[in-house]
Structure formats: structure tokens, C-alpha cells
A and B are shown apart, each in its own frame.
Chain A
Amino acid sequence: MTWTLATPLVLPFLTAVLAFLARYGAAGRWFSVAGNAILLGASILLMARVLDQGVIATQMGGWAAPFGITLVADYLSAVMVVITAITALAVSVYALSDIDERKEHLGYHALFNILIGGVVGAFLTGDLFNLYVWFEVMLISSFGLLILGGKKEQIDGGIKYVTLNLISTILFLSGIGLLYGMTGTLNMADMARAIDTVENQGLVTVVAMMFMVAFGVKAAVFPLFFWLPAAYHTPAFSVSAVFAGLLTKVGVYALIRMFTLVFDGDIGFTHQILLWVAALTMVTGVLGAAAQNDMRKILSFHIVSQIGYMIMGLALLTPLAVAGAVFYLVHHIIVKANLFLIAGVAERTAGSTNLDRIGGLYKSAPLLAVLFFIPAFSLAGFPPLSGFWAKYVLVAAAIEIEGWIIAAVALLVGLLTIFSMTKIWAEAFWKPHPEGVDPELTRLTPQARRNLLIPIAALAAMTLVIGFSPDPFVTFAKDAAAQLLDPTAYITTVLGGEA
């Protein structure tokens, strides 16, 4: 039991150690692929166990909650770990051909796996201070990945990234201190119980706002998202893909966790702010994207806009809305990581990601065009792709409680997303290449073609599966939402000793 939970956390770090010690040979990168394949297996086992038992928890070092550090997985945590493992495996295969030897010698694979370990840790921990530690692990390793290679704009983006994230970290840490002072515990389940007995509920709301800002920076919501478009287009494509897929989503996860479990006392205030934040995030993100002319920059702004949808689900806080947010998280990670991977192939074949300087991909590389079409139009919410169902559930949830304005914003932003996606489609795929180059896939070596296209195809296939049979996924998301909105099982499992 305890090892079902601990294995997905330990594996990435073991992989990192092996990959680092073998970084001068081919073995290093294969350790990364193998480690992430095993991680996927372990996370599926975890998922099976969670589906069977609802919530599972274990106490690290045998120290009973609320004093020790608890690892806990409910539906949301489990599905996030599975999706992390899927992304990690896809990106580590892609990296076989994407990362050059110099970056490997500097320790790319080790940093990458430590990042994955940090992400998994954040999803599985049941302890607030431990969550802070995992945020730090992610911050340090992602900074390393961001500046690996040392180009000028990488350092520039990296500094902005680290500075804003450090501010968020300080706020987070201060918030933890204040909460600990008020409740006397760091265990999130115990905190959920103790927070209602705090006399000064006004102060609790203040701390809730600190957490909202701290996680808001991580999740890149309006008006705290500036670091994201500045940083995400600079590093290697594998790195931007895993950042785009996973990093901001950890912030969203933390928001969902804290604002359903602990900060649910003054919903009228906090979740109203979240709703405004959600609407503004959606709109500014999509408008920012419209002004860009580089594939990766457009996609980066779209991350921001899509984060708005997830926050919207949290802000509405009805069972259907939270289910929509969970569904959106899963769909978005797959789609977004895939789009960045495809941008990498476009650069390799057509020579750039700047839309003015490329073209002709539809004629020369129809396979890539199909592979792009699936995630891009899923992102925009075309039926019957996965994004359609995600948006459908959220908009339905908004209409259900007569939130006409937010529903209208969500639909409008969906339309504008189509505008951006068709822009990439028209510029990169339809129009002829300005320099008359034929960006055929055969320009890649057969080995590179295999390593780059297999992960893309696999992720696109997953988008299709979710799109064509959304029922089990929606049902699952509804169950996850039910758990989040009624955390009794979570609290009793964590505090009720070893299950």
C-alpha cells in the first residue's frame, strides 16, 4: 500500500541519478526513457488502487499524521500523476533527437527527471510545507533547464522567470507561516479541520489571498503571467513542451486543492475574485496571442488563456464546474505539450518558428499537418475533439447557475482561439514557403523522424480517444469533483492512521 504511493515519487529521482552519472554515454538518455516508462507503469498502478479505494494515504517514515509528512492520492492527484508520467515519457522519447550532446553533458536528463519528481511530489503530498519544498525543487530544476545552453534570450527569460517565481515563493512561505500560527498544523487535512475554529476569520481570508497570489504566479493568471511568454519560447523544444504541459498546471492544482479543501470559508469573496481573474486571464491571454507572430509565443499566450478556463471551473465551484476544471486540466496537458513538440518539428523541417519565415508544411509534410490539426483544433474546442467536451462541460456549468457573462466570455475566447490556430495553420502550413524550401519530413534522419513523431502521434491519439469517447473521462472528472467538494474521505483517510 505505502509503496504504491511512494514509488512514483522515488522513481524520477533514481532515474535522475542514473542518467546523470551516465551522461557522457548513450546510456544516460535511455535511462531517462526507461525510468519514465516505469514511472508510467507505477502511476497506472496508483490509479488502479485509487479507483478501487477512493483515497489512499501513507505516512512517510512511519510518523503519524498530522506530525509527519503524508503522501495522499485522491482522484485528482492520481490522474495528475498519470498524466505527468505520460507527458514525461513522451518528452523523454522526443528528447532523444531534440537534445544535443552538449546539453546532455551539462545534465539535461538529470534536471528533467528531477523536475518530474518535483511535479509528482507536489501532486502527492498532503503537507503544506512539503508542497513548498516541491515547488522549490521544480523552480531550481526548471531554471536549470531554462538556461541550459546559455543563449542571451534564455538568460533574459530565465531571470524574469526566477524573479517572479521567487516573489511567489516568499508569499507562499509567509502564508504557510501565518496559517501555521493560526491552526498549529501543516497537514492539509488537519488544517481543513482546524481552520473553522480560528476566531479571526478575516485573517484567514487575508492569508487565502496570499495563497491566491502565490499560486497565481505559478499558474500564470492575470495579472501575474508576464514571466511565462517571456520565458517559454527560449529553451529547447522538449523543455518548453514539458513546461507548457506541466508547470503552470501544478499552480492550478495547488489552487484547486487549497481553495476546495482549506479556504472554503468565505466563498462569496474569494471565489468571486477567482471568477474575475478567470475571465480576465482568458481574455488577455487570447488577445496577447493574436498579436504574436512566432509559433511558440502564440502557444505560450494560449497557455495563459486556457488557465483561465480551469480557474473558471474552480471559481464557479459547482460539482459540474469543478469536474469541468479537472477534465480541462487533463485535456490541456496532453494537447499543449503536443503543440510545442510539433512546433519543434516545424522548426527542424522549415527552419524557424517565426510564421513569416516558414510555410508549405501542408504540401510537403501532410502527416505533420494532420498531427498538428488534431491538438490545435482540440485546443480551440472543435467537436468532437477533447477540447470541445472540456469547454462544453464548463460552459454548461456556467449556464446551469446562470453565469451568463462568464459563459459568454468562455465562448468568445474559444472563437478567438480558433483565430490564432487558423493563423498558424494558414501561415505555417498553407502558404508556400517564402524561400521556396520544401520542408519535407525526409529532411530529418530516419532516427530523428521516429523519435520526434512517435510521441506526437501518441499524444494526438490520446486526444482523439478522449474526444470520441468522453463518457468515462467525464464520469471520472465528476467523481473527482465530488471528492474535492466533499473532502470528508480525504480528511479521514489522512488522519485516520495507516489505511
Chain B
Amino acid sequence: MNSIILRVGTQYLCGILVLFSLYMLIRGHNEPGGGFIGGLIGSTGFVLFALACGTADARNALKVMPQNIAMAGLGIALLAGIYAAIFGDALFTGQWLFINETPEDKGIPISTVLFFDIGVYLVVFGSILSIVFAMEEEI
């Protein structure tokens, strides 16, 4: 589709969507949201890009092949699960680290759960884009 309105609109929307998807990813830690929905929102940004400017440009903007993003995500999610082995826990047991922990305040929690969610985000993001790009190029 060649429409200047869509192209200009996409320039702004794409960035906002990706940013919002990251917000959803982090928010999912304690509230509704998370890697799956975040990955879906983030991929819509690039789907929009592909519709407005063509898949070639979208692939260029992405720099990395979407299939590789998905597979790397699977790897990250797996490593987050396997990391529990070091502590002798069962597979996928969450491991927590609290930064700046004080008696009153737990501080900033960093956990393998978060990394697992990031992996999910990348898997969803990458696989949606591989499918959409492939279908867009087929037509």
C-alpha cells in the first residue's frame, strides 16, 4: 500500500508501539501484561511498518532475521529455566536477586522469571513477524 498518510503515521506509531510493548513486558511482572502480549504489541509495530513501506524496508529496520529473534528468545527462556540447576532447584524454579535491599524495602527485584518472560516476548515477536513477512512477500 502506498499512502503518505500511513507512512508518516507509521514513523511515529512504530516506535510508540515497541515502547508500549516493552512497558507491557515489564508491567506483566506483577500486573496484567507480560511477554506474550508484549510480543504481540511489539510485532504490530513492525507489521504496520511492513504494510506501509514494504517488507524489504521492514527487514532492514529490524536488522536481524525474525526467525533468529524467535530462536534466540527460545534459547533465553530455556537458559532462564536451566539456571535453577546451579542452585540445585527443579527446572524453571525462579531465582531472585534484590538490588538495594533494605529491611523495609525489597529493592529492585531481578529474577530468572523476568528473563523467561523476555524470552517469551522474543519468541512471539519473532514468530509473528516471520509469518507476516512471509505471507506479505507471497502476495
Binding site for B on A (CB under 8 A): 2-3, 6, 9-10, 13-14, 16-17, 20-21, 58-62, 71, 107, 110, 498
Number of interface residues of B (CB under 8 A): 16
Contacts of A498 in B (CB 8 A): 90
A59 pairs with B78, CB closer than 8 A: no
A61 pairs with B90, CB closer than 8 A: yes
B71 pairs with A62, CB closer than 8 A: no
A484 CB → nearest B CB, Å? 26
Cβ of B110 under 8 Å from chain A: no
Question: Within the complex, which residue of B68, B78, B93 is in contact with A21, where a contact is CB–CB below 8 Å?
Answer: B68
For the complex, would chain B's binding face be called helix, strand, loop or mixed by DSSP majority?
A: helix
Binding site for A on B (CB under 8 A): 67-68, 71-72, 74-75, 78, 81-82, 85, 89-94
A187 CB → nearest B CB, Å? 15
Residue of A nearest to B113 (CB): A61
Residue of B nearest to A61 (CB): B92
Question: What are 26 residue pairs bridging A and B, where the CB atoms are less than 8 Å apart in the complex?
Answer: A2-B89, A3-B91, A6-B90, A6-B91, A10-B78, A10-B81, A10-B82, A13-B78, A14-B78, A17-B72, A17-B75, A17-B78, A20-B67, A20-B68, A20-B71, A21-B68, A21-B75, A58-B90, A59-B90, A60-B90, A60-B91, A60-B92, A61-B90, A61-B93, A61-B94, A62-B90
Contacts of A17 in B (CB 8 A): 71-72, 74-75, 78
Contacts of A3 in B (CB 8 A): 85, 91
In angstroms, Cα B81 to Cα A2, docked, is: 13
In angstroms, Cα B67 to Cα A20, docked, is: 9
In angstroms, Cα B91 to Cα A58, docked, is: 9
B2 CB → nearest A CB, Å? 30
B128 CB → nearest A CB, Å? 14
In angstroms, Cα B114 to Cα A435, docked, is: 64
A13 pairs with B74, CB closer than 8 A: yes
B91 pairs with A107, CB closer than 8 A: no
B89 pairs with A62, CB closer than 8 A: yes
A107 pairs with B90, CB closer than 8 A: no
B81 pairs with A107, CB closer than 8 A: no
Contacts of A6 in B (CB 8 A): 90-91
Contacts of A61 in B (CB 8 A): 90-94
A185 CB → nearest B CB, Å? 20
Contacts of A9 in B (CB 8 A): 91
- Which of B74, B91, B94 gathers the greatest number of chain A CB atoms within 10 Å? B91
7 smallest CB-CB distances across A and B, nearest first, come from: A17-B75, A6-B91, A61-B92, A62-B93, A20-B71, A2-B90, A62-B90
A237 CB → nearest B CB, Å? 25
B81 CB → nearest A CB, Å? 7
Contacts of B94 in A (CB 8 A): 61
Question: Within the complex, which residue of A10, A14, A20, A21 is in contact with B91, where a contact is CB–CB below 8 Å?
Answer: A10
For the complex, would chain A's binding face be called helix, strand, loop or mixed by DSSP majority?
A: helix
- How many A-B residue contacts, CB cutoff 8 Å? 48
A489 CB → nearest B CB, Å? 21
Contacts of B92 in A (CB 8 A): 60-61
B72 pairs with A21, CB closer than 8 A: yes
Contacts of B68 in A (CB 8 A): 20-21
In angstroms, Cα B67 to Cα A2, docked, is: 32
Residue of A nearest to B91 (CB): A6
In angstroms, Cα B90 to Cα A20, docked, is: 27
Known A60-B90, A60-B92, A61-B92; judge A110-B78 contact (CB<8 A). Answer: no
Contacts of B75 in A (CB 8 A): 14, 17, 21
Known A10-B81, A14-B78, A17-B78; judge A110-B71 contact (CB<8 A). Answer: yes
Contacts of A59 in B (CB 8 A): 90
In angstroms, Cα B85 to Cα A260, docked, is: 34
Contacts of B81 in A (CB 8 A): 10
Contacts of A10 in B (CB 8 A): 78, 81-82, 91
Contacts of A16 in B (CB 8 A): 71, 74
Contacts of B82 in A (CB 8 A): 10
A66 CB → nearest B CB, Å? 16
B127 CB → nearest A CB, Å? 10
Residue of A nearest to B71 (CB): A20
B8 CB → nearest A CB, Å? 36
B1 CB → nearest A CB, Å? 27
Known A3-B85, A10-B81, A14-B78; judge A21-B90 contact (CB<8 A). Answer: no
A217 CB → nearest B CB, Å? 25
Contacts of A60 in B (CB 8 A): 90-92
In angstroms, Cα B72 to Cα A311, docked, is: 41
Given contacts A21-B75, A61-B91, 16 further A-B contacts (CB under 8 A): A2-B91, A3-B85, A10-B81, A13-B74, A16-B71, A17-B74, A20-B71, A21-B72, A58-B90, A60-B90, A60-B92, A61-B92, A61-B93, A61-B94, A62-B93, A110-B71
Contacts of A62 in B (CB 8 A): 89-90, 93
Residue of A nearest to B89 (CB): A62
Residue of A nearest to B94 (CB): A61
Contacts of B74 in A (CB 8 A): 13, 16-17
Residue of B nearest to A19 (CB): B71
A5 CB → nearest B CB, Å? 8
Contacts of B90 in A (CB 8 A): 2, 6, 58-62, 498
Contacts of B85 in A (CB 8 A): 3
Residue of B nearest to A6 (CB): B91
Residue of A nearest to B73 (CB): A17
Residue of A nearest to B92 (CB): A61
A107 pairs with B67, CB closer than 8 A: yes
A21 pairs with B89, CB closer than 8 A: no
Contacts of A110 in B (CB 8 A): 71
Residue of B nearest to A9 (CB): B91
In angstroms, Cα B82 to Cα A3, docked, is: 10
In angstroms, Cα B75 to Cα A243, docked, is: 25
In angstroms, Cα B93 to Cα A498, docked, is: 14
